[in-house]
Amino acid sequence: MADSALYSEPNLQALTGLQWLTRVPLTLTAATDLVSTLPASALQTTDVPRYRIAGVCSDYGGGQQRWFVVESQPRRQSDLVKLEQTIGQAAQPAQRQLDRLHHKAFACEADD
């Protein structure tokens, strides 16, 4: 068992033949792609309340692996709040530009 620093292609090749357990970092494109494309229907409820899990096969680093995607309801709620804040911050400059355009005089009705 090790932290996610273990999870690199050279290390995985060195661990061939051994059993190991680690977290796959989301800095890995394959992990990010999996998390963003995994359908909600693939996640199964667990005995632990507010958690769901999906097992997925991967061949990252040249060897067969079994990855588990774990979804926590509290973490999901936290991520949604952060996403709403990010969207709100991105919308502010656009709203200011729209307000400026509303106050601008145009040459003809077609320009409005």
pTM for the full model? 0.66
Under the banding of pLDDT at 50, 70 and 90, the label for residue 84 is very high
Beta strand pairing call for 51-58 and 44-45: antiparallel
Give the model confidence (pLDDT) of 49-70 as tens digits: 999 999 999 988 777 889 999 9
The residue to which tokens 């661990």 are assigned: 15
Q: Which pLDDT score, from 0 to 100, does residue 111 have?
A: 61
pLDDT tens digit string along 18-44? Answer: 888 889 998 999 999 999 999 989 999
Distance CA 54, CA 29 (A): 18
Count Cα neighbours of 91 within 13 Å in the Cβ-side half-sphere: 6
Please count the CA atoms within 13 angstroms of the CA of 86 that sit on its side-chain side.
6
Nearest-angstrom CA–CA distance, 79 and 67 = 22
